[in-house]
Structure 1
Amino acid sequence: MGRASLITTAVVFLAIGVIISPETFGPKSTALSTYIKLAHLLGFSIAFGAALWVTFIGGIIMFNGFLWLSSSVENFFHW
């Protein structure tokens, strides 16, 4: 299920990109420029997704686990 949802999400975002900017992927574009644009879009989306993950999901998880982690480290280093 995870792989199918990943592929579906990628296809949906590509379709949105084609709808928003049809001249980018239209018949007048060369094959090389289309691949470069797709690579740029993929790189940007990975960086943006990683930033959102770190900010919201990772930040919340770290905040919730910080008290437990700090008490564990304190007990370990205090003799």
Structure 2
Amino acid sequence: RALGALERGLQDTPFLVGGSLTIADIAVYAYGHRAEDCGFSLADYPAVSAWIDRVGGTIGSGYPVHPYSIDPHSGG
């Protein structure tokens, strides 16, 4: 349901709160860009996929991202 809500919300706007990146995008991106790692296919959510690419391109790389299976902060 969350991906569906994101898809509807991103149909007509490049970011969650309008035309520019906000803390809302960064907060949702933190987990949203890992959806496929958790078994959620983004194939049916083109607006979400484009948003993930847009946010990722805006914030850039250079921060550690671990798969959930080996994430040292996952508590597992």
Under a length normalisation based on structure 1, what TM-score does the superposition of the two structures give? Answer: 0.25
Richer in helix (by share): 1
Larger Rg: 1
Under a length normalisation based on structure 2, what TM-score does the superposition of the two structures give? Answer: 0.26
Q: Which has the higher contact order (CA 8 A, sep 6+)?
A: 2
